[in-house]
Structure 1
Amino acid sequence: MDRMFVKCFSCIQCGETFSVAKPLQKCPKCGGALLVVYDYEEVSSSLSLDKLRSRPFCVWRYFELLPVTDRSKVVTLGEGGTFLHRCKKLAKMIGVKELYVKDETTNPTGSFMDRGTTVQVSKALELNYGGVICAATGNYGASLAAYAAKAGLSCKIFIPTGVDLGKLYQMIAYGADVELARSYDEAKALTLRGMVDTYSASPLDPFFLEGEKTTGFEIYEQTLGNLPDRIVVPLGSGGHAVMIWKAFNELEEAGFLKDVKVIISGVQPKGGPIAKAFMEGKGVVEEVERVETRFLDVGVKSSPYASLALKAIKKSGGFVSMVLDEEMVQAARLLAKTEGIFAEPAAGSAIAGVKAALDAGIIDPSERIVCIITGSGLKDVKTARSLIKRQKEVKLTLADVELPLRIGLTKLRILEVLSEGKLHGYGIWKRLKTRYGINVKLPSVYQHLSELTTLGLVKALDVEKYPRRRGRRLYVATEYGASMVSSIKKAAIEYLYE
């Protein structure tokens, strides 16, 4: 066992402390959010800048300030160590002197979530769990599935309708057992059924959040201790902003920094609870009924860390702005065209927030600003397609090819039928009508079959011959098509494309 640096959990609400020997999602006494506390004197005596710089530039470079105590249990895919880009063209376009982006799209599964999941899954392994279970809206589920696969743990994920198709594909590819719920609240409730020997994981788990703070540690190193004037973070639960703030305070506690002076600011979609509380001058964030966005990762209605995020932002002198979905999409497009970084719209919200704040005179154009770009645009298939469609000139090769898979309800039902055995077009048409109540014309069935064959999900067999009448071609689901059905047939396709 390695030297112990972690001390306890501490409740941000009542101040009670608890052992880290078992996972806790919230304070057992008052239900408040928990933070992990370390022995900073021990950290200071053990860790130096020279020692840090001798290690690989990744999340586990900061082992002494992470809650895993046994290095042999670390599960890593090479997360962290992401590039801090100077964005000269984008800065000029939006009107700020120095703009940088911390590019989290280069993490193993394409998002900042990998920083937390590597710690969370390592801790689950250290505590001898055999599997993980969670509710997820996208990036978190994809990340958890990948790290569970690496660790050899089983992974069960409940998702709401509306999850980005690219993220769903990732979960399935990594071998997770994915099941659909009608809403995120229902997905969370389903995880409470529990499974023997299974770690109940969440992006609000204190162990997970400890990994997120390494974003702040890296910014400290990449700026050689000369922190930027402002860091702008997309806000979902508020956990990432809280942990970046915690990172700088821990560096101060351990003697690496003196007198932390950096402004933390955040961005939420219209109706976001943290932005709403900030604009109303409140000190406590209350749950909202609805956040006006189609981007689920930032459409969080409530969070135990929301009020602490608001406190960190206010204490640092920051702001929280609201942006529309279209502003996020345009910001992501601008970032891609000017700096070569393809971000999903939720990640682009940081750029949109800076632009809105500059236009409103909230930000001084002379500031050095770092925006956290939290996830890759390749994960949001629908938006990626819409960005391409907006181009006035698209090469013929793109115009002639269907960009990512377009699997709708009818196609899925056809796949279900053909995963049961071979059948001809008329038989498929009849079964769609009698079993599923799907009324389509027979030529449409053959069009679907043609598209499914092109996608490699269905295979056309030899013609079935009959005496004195025309033969009929048989079709069957390929192994790939059948595996897709078994993974997502419970996901009632409200979120997939027709």
Structure 2
Amino acid sequence: YEDALKKVARLKESLPVTPTNPYLLDGYRTIYYEIFLKLSKHPSTLIVPIGDGALLTMVWQALRELGGSSRVIGVKGCSSTPILKDISVDKPLLQDVVNEVIRDSNGLIITVCESEVLSSIKLLAELEGMLIEPTGASSLAALIKLHSMGELSRDDEVVVLLTGSSLSDTSILRLIADKHVKYFDEIKIGYTKLKILEILTLQGPLHPYAIWKILRNSYGVKVGLRTLYQHMEELERLGFVRVSSFKSIGGRIRKIYEVTTKGLMILK
């Protein structure tokens, strides 16, 4: 970051995209004008990523110009990984101003880690259809973390700035996709296993032989008993069923299975 800043500073006849560019700063300031225009009031809390500090500084300036006193929370990365590099600057160019904003707004700086940001990117894609780059998604990760810490109440009106461009980094997209595919591979369990879960849900804990009989007589699912045991082992490995007890039936000790909370979620 520091090396890049020095290089663009040598370009005398240009206006680099840094905090020294007045047009960039004014552009940042209009972000809060749009927020205020949309809400017709000031939010109680603003969550803003910290890179060089310019965005947070100008949003705060616009907030003050419009007579607001919202709490400002800055977001930084917990480590300088490729995903978090833009918000993991040790000393942002506008560090002193950032500190002043945090102090005057009674705010704080919160750090988020890679796994939290990746989860937020995935959440935004699933729920909002938005592919947001890590810098922007870090604000949502911060919101979730702040809520879990008890830093936000139900009455707070929070604006989260999802900054930057759309997500186009193929390595990050691949990472998210791999986790997504792995998850759905686990829950794509097939008709017979779904019926086993349904039987255990409706009729309570049962041993495999009883499940096998119900499958044949009530659902028309004809599988071998050995195959049924394989299904039970796979469901147990996936965490969808578990052994609740052991029972002696016909002189043999049989495992009694019950459906787990995770298994119930699959049925929903």
Residue 326 of structure 1 aligns with which residue? 115
Q: Whole-Å Cα distance in 1 between the matches of residues 92 and 38 of structure 2? A: 30
Residue 147 of structure 2 aligns with which residue? 358
Q: Which of 56, 62, 83 is residue 241 of structure 1 equivalent to? A: 56
How many residue pairs get aligned? The number is 183
Whether 1:340 and 2:129 are equivalent positions in the alignment is yes
Q: Whole-Å Cα distance in 2 between the matches of residues 194 and 242 of structure 1? A: 24
| Superposition TM-score, scaled by structure 2 size | 0.62
**Are the aligned partners of 1:239 and 1:306 in contact in 2 as well (CA < 8 Å)?**
no
**Are the aligned partners of 1:377 and 1:384 in contact in 2 as well (CA < 8 Å)?**
no
Q: Whole-Å Cα distance in 2 between the matches of residues 353 and 247 of structure 1? A: 22
Residue 215 of structure 1 aligns with which residue? 31
Cα 1:362–1:209 change in 2 (3 A) is: same
Q: Secondary structure at the match of 1:232?
A: strand
Residue 302 of structure 1 aligns with which residue? 91
- Which one has a larger percent helix, Structure 1 or Structure 2? 2
Deviation at 1:227? 1.3
**Are the aligned partners of 1:230 and 1:262 in contact in 2 as well (CA < 8 Å)?**
yes
Query: Over alpha carbons, which structure has the higher Rg?
Result: 2
Q: Whole-Å Cα distance in 1 between the matches of residues 133 and 70 of structure 2? A: 26
**Structure 1 alignment gaps of length 5 or more:** 1-183, 253-259, 272-290, 396-498
Percent identical among aligned pairs is 24
Deviation at 1:330? 0.7
- Root-mean-square deviation (CA, aligned residues, Å) is 2.3
Q: Secondary structure at the match of 1:213?
A: helix
Q: One-letter code of the match for 1:358?
A: H
Q: Whole-Å Cα distance in 2 between the matches of residues 236 and 331 of structure 1? A: 18
Q: Whole-Å Cα distance in 2 between the matches of residues 220 and 193 of structure 1? A: 37
- What CA deviation, in whole Å up to 9, does each residue of 1:402-459 have, x standing for no partner? xxxxxxxxxxxxxxxxxxxxxxxxxxxxxxxxxxxxxxxxxxxxxxxxxxxxxxxxxx
Residue 187 of structure 1 aligns with which residue? 4
Q: Which of 392, 397, 408 is residue 181 of structure 2 equivalent to? A: 392
**Structure 2 alignment gaps of length 5 or more:** 185-268
Cα 1:187–1:243 change in 2 (3 A) is: closer
Q: Which of 38, 47, 60 is residue 232 of structure 1 equivalent to? A: 47
Residue 256 of structure 2 aligns with which residue? none
Cα 1:304–1:392 change in 2 (3 A) is: closer
Cα 1:310–1:186 change in 2 (3 A) is: closer
Q: Whole-Å Cα distance in 1 between the matches of residues 7 and 39 of structure 2? A: 44
Q: Which of 82, 97, 102 is residue 313 of structure 1 equivalent to? A: 102
Q: Which of 269, 279, 296 is residue 77 of structure 2 equivalent to? A: 269
Cα 1:215–1:392 change in 2 (3 A) is: same
Cα 1:333–1:250 change in 2 (3 A) is: same
- What CA deviation, in whole Å up to 9, does each residue of 1:333-385 have, x standing for no partner? 11111122211122111011111111111111321111000134432221112
Cα 1:186–1:242 change in 2 (3 A) is: closer
Cα 1:233–1:188 change in 2 (3 A) is: closer
| Superposition TM-score, scaled by structure 1 size | 0.34
Q: Whole-Å Cα distance in 1 between the matches of residues 183 and 118 of structure 2? A: 19
Deviation at 1:323? 0.8
Deviation at 1:220? 0.8
Q: Secondary structure at the match of 1:379?
A: coil
Cα 1:370–1:192 change in 2 (3 A) is: closer
Cα 1:392–1:215 change in 2 (3 A) is: same
**Are the aligned partners of 2:63 and 2:69 in contact in 1 as well (CA < 8 Å)?**
no
